[in-house]
Structure 1
Amino acid sequence: MSNVTNVTDDLINAMNAHDLEAALRCYTDGAVYVSPVGVGEGRDEIASFLGAFLTGFPDVCWTPWNSIVVCGNLVITQWAITGTHRGPFTMPNGETIEATGRSVNIRGCSLRTMDGERIAVHCIFYDQLELYAQLGAELVFKGP
């Protein structure tokens, strides 16, 4: 990895190859991963988050739209993911949605703070309602 933008390519290529070990090499030992599902600290917890996604969507494919470097060590990437829900997927409330066989196409963005040529903080954002609707989940209003 010769510079911070190459890390984006390395991470996306590793995830598209479903190579969790290669993906984890993109992170510092004490990296923090923040997603709608929760926060992971260190490579072991990050592996748990990324692995759970690969389990739920084993054919997942990330497509980056564009990446920019802001202020030297902050990289922002817009992306889309496509895949088929073929395994259990944990929702932010801790409930698990079993495989539905449904296809998903979700847009999102990542903000990564770099430490040298590794990711120190990785925050991802996507529309959870869009994902859950594509999985067939229903929004239930329980009242005030």
Structure 2
Amino acid sequence: MSTGWDVKHRLCQAINVHDLHGVLECYSPDAVLVCPAGVAEGREQIAWIYEQLFKGFPDYRQTPWLEVDCDDPAVSEWTITGTHTGPFLLPDGRELEPTGRHVTLRASCLSYVEGGRIVTHREYFDQLELYSQLGFGLVELGED
């Protein structure tokens, strides 16, 4: 039986080559993915999250640089890189047209694995860092 780290390594490899089938094989059928984009429950919703990511950043890649020496949950940190050359769905439902901007983000995740598949996967990164790199600025809100 594969360890949690075997599963996470397979997931990272599948993500880096944008193999959606391979990504979904790492998740249990009723898995939950919690990420800045929201909560996805089950493979169909998880697939949608990854499809949006791969569409907006066709060269999206994760490079792990720290794996915490524990089994459950398996915790890692990585660097995310990609170029925004496709449409990207924003949290308010608008679609951001390609900016051509390259992004580099620090991120972390933890995964609970049972029976050789991920049952819960939580990803964290700084959304402000992402949106700043995509060209968004902070707006000071005036008093009403």
Indicate the TM-score class for this superposition, using the shorter chain for normalisation: over 0.9
Aligned to 2:96: 97
Q: Distance in 1 between matches of 2:116 and 2:142?
A: 48
- Greater shift, 134-143 or 109-118, is seen at 134-143
Aligned to 1:28: 28
CA apart distance, 1:127: 0.5
Q: In structure 2, the residue corresponding to 1:120 is in which secondary structure?
A: strand
- For 1:43-58, list aligned pairs within 5 A: 43-58=43-58
1:117–1:69 CA distance, 2 compared to 1 (3 A): farther
CA apart distance, 1:69: 4.8
The TM-score with structure 1 as length reference comes to 0.93
Give percent identity, aligned residues only.
45
The TM-score with structure 2 as length reference comes to 0.93
CA apart distance, 1:113: 1.2
Q: In structure 1, the residue corresponding to 2:51 is in which secondary structure?
A: helix
Q: In structure 2, the residue corresponding to 1:131 is in which secondary structure?
A: helix
Q: Distance in 2 between matches of 1:31 and 1:14?
A: 17
Q: In structure 2, the residue corresponding to 1:29 is in which secondary structure?
A: strand
CA apart distance, 1:141: 3.0
Q: In structure 1, the residue corresponding to 2:100 is in which secondary structure?
A: coil
Contact between 1:4 and 1:116, CA under 8 Å: does it hold in 2?
no
- Does 2:76 correspond to 1:77? yes
Letter in 2 for 1:122: H
Computed over aligned residues only, the root mean square deviation of the Cα atoms, in angstroms, reads 1.4
Q: Distance in 1 between matches of 2:142 and 2:10?
A: 45
Q: Distance in 1 between matches of 2:88 and 2:139?
A: 19
5+ residue gaps in structure 2? none
- Does 2:116 correspond to 1:117? yes
CA apart distance, 1:21: 0.4
CA apart distance, 1:93: 2.5
Runs of 4+ in structure 1 deviating by more than 6 angstroms, as ranges, are none
CA apart distance, 1:116: 2.3
5+ residue gaps in structure 1? none
Aligned to 1:131: 130
Letter in 1 for 2:24: L
Q: How many residue pairs were aligned? A: 143
CA apart distance, 1:4: 1.0
Q: Over residues 59-82 of structure 1, what are the superposed CA-to-partner deviations in whole Å (9 max), with x where a residue is unaligned?
A: 111100122254x42111101111
